Every structure is written in structure tokens, then in C-alpha cells.
Structure 1
């Protein structure tokens, strides 16, 4: 898949998402409330754009602006750090900055995915068509994490272990699940444990294998120094409803809730 086709699919996906948001806001009124909701008005963006920062997105923006508030340590630090430092480039608008980071990251991610596999066309199409793919373009970590995940696997395949180390370290500072990249890296290491692998490459690969843990432990150390609880990112999860589902939830119910978000 060439770059032009990837860009075309990406733009069509964005247009479709914005149309869904625009019309869903008129058809399905949202009557609930979430933290910092009133602050959406401060960014002077249309509702069908600012809606992509609802819920968790506003927590990332709050962290970027003011640092961690109580219990916000559930959100890993890399994404709000990027928002904080890139905001001056985009009129000091944190919401706009978050959207640009997410969308540019996701676009680069699917471009790398297209380069990684010859038959990636349908993978990308179905990825964009998936009902919850809008998260990749929202003020959430999904777009950035997708880029870091794909980059890790791409350079692992290319055996560029220095870049693997960098990307997997950043992934583990973006989302907790980034630490599980140690699994494909371990399989790769097992496949490469043969006499033909140069000693230096083997050492770098072993070090890269530690990168997810280094990223996670760095955040744990920060939490320990600032709050006294190195695992606050886990213990604060219930505040955000991470364990609230006590009964069976069917897929149509999930889709309905997503529409109501906007």
C-alpha cells in the first residue's frame, strides 16, 4: 500500500468519525457529567472536535497543565508530557495538541505497518473500520501507543535493537500494557540464541529485553518519591471505574455507551 492510499484512507476515516460525532450529538443528548467537563469550553473548538477529549482525555490535559492531581496517577506520564512540551507549537491549546499527537502518531503507525507486511492492506482497512477505532484519533494514549508498539515490532524484525530499546521503553511509559512487549521480545531472543548472533548484538538484545521493566520501574520510583505508593497507578484504578462491571455487558451495550460519549 503506497503512502497516498494510506493518507486517503486515513482522511476518509477522520471525516467519517467527525460526521458520526457531529450527528450523534444532535440525535443522542448526553445528560451525564465527568471531571473537568466545563473546561472543554476553554479551548475554543467546535463541540464535534472537543468531544474527542471527553472523559480520560481531560485528565491527560489536566496532568499536562497542572501535574498529577489526586488519583490521576492511574494515567501513565509520557502522553501528557508530550502535550505539555508541544503545546507552545499549537497556540498553547492542550486539546488541539493532544489531537495532533494522537492523529500524527496513528498515521505514522499505520504507515510503518504497511511497510512491515506485504499484505497489510486489509489489516489497515479493517483496523480503521473497527467501531472503536476512533480512540486512535482522540485525546487518549491509543494513537501514540500504537505507533510505539508497531515501531517496536518493526525494528525487532529489522534487528535494530537500540531502536527497539527506545520504543519499548517509551511504550511502557505510555500504557501499563507496554510492559507485555517483553513477550514477543522474549520469543525473538529465543530464536536468536545461536552462535551466529554477534556477541554485541546479543548483549544489546538482552538489554532491550529489560526496557519495558525499566520504563515501568521508573514510573514506580517517581510515584514512590512523590506519593509513597509505587503502585498508585494500580490502586487508584477503582476511582475511575476500572472494577465497576459486576454483571454481563453485551457488545451492543458497549457501542451504545460509545455513542453516548459524544
Structure 2
């Protein structure tokens, strides 16, 4: 059993260590707000940033950002009106065709996403969806495998943000397209588990258009003096609800123009 977390206000370093320890030991724990009840959203982003610093110190490389809670239904459930942001590192990349390393994951769930790779740097504020899309070099279909460090995926928004928005792994599809001429709002996806369709969506499920999510990320980071750099990978948010990835199961996302991505449950 994990020891009780004792955090004084502002002790982001300790909070980050606790969450990273849970990740390393593949051990679910209770929400940190149970022991740090005054944790608000700015404080949670401070914890998240400290955790990124610790990841980089141990040798990981920052490669991009990811958005969470981009669908209106998920925002309503969490009582918020905007998505959350988190970081991607090279340790979160799952090569295509490689089964899930279950020894690294507590309770993985998978969701299909439209993924951007930037050609140009994006620095808010003032970024529109059109400007954001103009900075995109390639568009991919992808699957994100989320994995909360909290027992039973139960947490507040502050808990989730501190935990890097339940980051786990992600895999990109085989087809990278130029965004020019693409109708990303109508890019459709069928989500299958073991050959059975369990959900479907279009890009409009992500803030109305994935480029809106990208612009939101650039502007939110700009408020913190940060930018999305050229070459960055941006996961724009789950198009459907996430599905549990059971041992031995196969999850596939079939996109209308971005190909098929399959993740084996391991």
C-alpha cells in the first residue's frame, strides 16, 4: 500500500515524484487531491510541468503535446468548458505492430485520434484554427493508449492534469497526409475491438474541428509563455470514448482517408 501523501501548498516536486513513482511501479493509487485538497488547476499544471522536468532529467525527450477532454460530452461530465493539455515524450511512442507492453501499464484504455505533426512553430495567443492548420506539415490517424495512475480511473480534473492527463502510449498510422484539401471535420473513424465495431465518430467530435483543438493548445500554452515547436507531435483528443484494452484483445481504428491502426493487447 502506498504511503499517505503529505503535501504542503506549492510542493509540486513531491506531488510529481509520487505520480511518477506510481507510473514506474505500475501501481494504482488514490487521487492526490485526497491529501492535497487545495490543489487547483494552475497548481496541477505546475505539478505536470515538474513531472516533465523529472522525465527529461531521466533521459526522455519532449516531442509534443496532447489534448484531453476535447469532446463536449466529456467536458460536461467533468464540469469544465475547455480541454486539458499535457506533454508527450519519446518514451510514450509505441511503434506500429508492437503489442502493448502490459508490464508498463496499469489499466490501459484506447481511443482514436487525429494527429498533427507541425511544420512551423505555433506561439499564441491569437492563433486561429486556420493559422494553426497552416502550420501543420502532416496529418495522421492514431491511437492513444491512456493509463491513469489513479485507482479505477477515478479522479478530479486537477488530479488528471497533475497526472499528465492520463498519458500512456500512442501509435501513429502508416499514412501521413498533407492537410491541404482534407476535410478533417468529416474524417470518419470506426473503432473496433476484436473485429466488432464498438464506436464511431468524425473529426467534428474534437472541438468541432481538430484544428480548433490545435489552436486552443497553442493559445493556452502561449498564456504560460510556451509554444508548440516545429516538428512537434500533437494528439488532438479522443474522437470516441476510450475502450478498455483487455489482455489478448485487438483494438483497431479505421479512418476514412488516414488508414488503419491496430493495437494488440499483449
> Shorter-normalised TM-score: what interval?
under 0.3
Name the one with the larger helix percent.
1
Name the one with the larger strand percent.
2
Q: Which has the larger radius of gyration?
A: 1
Q: Which has the higher contact order (CA 8 A, sep 6+)?
A: 2
